[in-house]
Structure 1
């Protein structure tokens, strides 16, 4: 799945990004505004797509005299499907959160970062996850590894993209924080929380425990 434009999995033409923009917009947009938001094609190409979609009734056109504003016809039979396709990234995050939420050994923290969090990437970009595991001597390593392995396979099943997990214990996270490891910026800016304690909260807890 193209992590920048997941809708292109089903609608690979310029229609995909245009529909994605319209599905997320609450108000009417001009052709130039839509072109800027899609970041694809040309202004003329976007307008041709909009004309074609308007002919199907999926897009409404409001004539304001000096400009035309386009908006998704949310009463159209196809509109709910378009809205769902426009939210594939959010659906992926929700599915991953649901799976991790059912783990017998819950993580201290779980999030996605990298391309999926930034909303960019390509067709073969990794779905990158951060897992902070419990800091326990009696941790059932086999069960934990099984959970992580199933999560990796879930990512592939849902998206077709490879999954990469950066996994460490709470103590190992403290070591990264103490050393001000640059990778912390990748994990936190931006990231999308899946479950557990927020990473910023863990950092604050670590800083509060430092001797003064």
Structure 2
């Protein structure tokens, strides 16, 4: 799945990014605004897409002064499917959180970072996950490893993207903080918490705060 534009899985043309922008906006947008937000194609190409979508009734066009403003026709039969596809990233994150919240051994903390958290990347980007296990749990615990393994398979099943899991204990996190490992910045900026204690709170318990480099 394209982590920047998930809708492109089903709509691989320029129509995909354009529809994603329209689905995320409640206000009318100009062709130039849509082009800037979509980050794809040319202004002329985006306008051609908008004209074609308007002809189907999926997009409304409002003539405001000297500008044409475009917005998704949310009453259209296809609109719910467009909105669902445009929100695949949030749906995916919710599915990951739901799975982890059902674990028999809950993590102290779980989050996603990297391309998925930033909202960029491409179809080959890894889905990066941080898992912090309880200190009383031995590394290699069979049940814990089974949970983590199934989570990695879930990522592949839901997106087609490879999963990369960085797993460590609470004490090992404190060790990373003590020597200010550069990867700490990757985990924090940005990240999306899935479950457990906030990473910032765990760092504060160790008497550390993270300064971006």
Q: Give CA deviations for 1:145-181 in whole Å, capped at 9, x if unaligned.
A: 0000000000000000100000000000000111111
The aligned counterpart of 2:51 is 51
Q: 1:138, 1:185 → 2: CA distance?
A: 26
User: What's the CA shift for 1:122?
Assistant: 1.1
Matched, 1:194 2:194: yes
Q: Give CA deviations for 1:47-70 in whole Å, capped at 9, x if unaligned.
A: 000000001111000001300000
SS at match of 1:85: helix
Aligned pairs for 1:25-40 within 5 A: 25-40=25-40
- Worse-superposed segment, 129-138 or 174-183: 129-138
Q: 1:41, 1:160 → 2: CA distance?
A: 25
User: What's the CA shift for 1:137?
Assistant: 5.0
The aligned counterpart of 2:18 is 18
Q: 4+ residue runs of structure 1 moved beyond 2 angstroms?
A: 137-140
Q: 1:27, 1:205 → 2: CA distance?
A: 44
TM-score (norm 1): 0.96
The aligned counterpart of 2:105 is 105
SS at match of 2:29: coil
Structure 2: which 5+ runs fail to align?
Answer: 209-213
Counterparts in 2 of 1:15 and 1:137: CA distance versus 1, 3 Å: closer
Q: 1:44, 1:138 → 2: CA distance?
A: 59
User: What's the CA shift for 1:115?
Assistant: 0.4
Q: 2:28, 2:117 → 1: CA distance?
A: 27
The aligned counterpart of 2:152 is 152
User: What's the CA shift for 1:204?
Assistant: 1.1
TM-score (norm 2): 0.95
Q: Give CA deviations for 1:72-122 in whole Å, capped at 9, x if unaligned.
A: 011111111101100111011000000000000000000000000001111
Q: 1:138, 1:72 → 2: CA distance?
A: 52
| Number of residue-to-residue matches in the alignment | 208
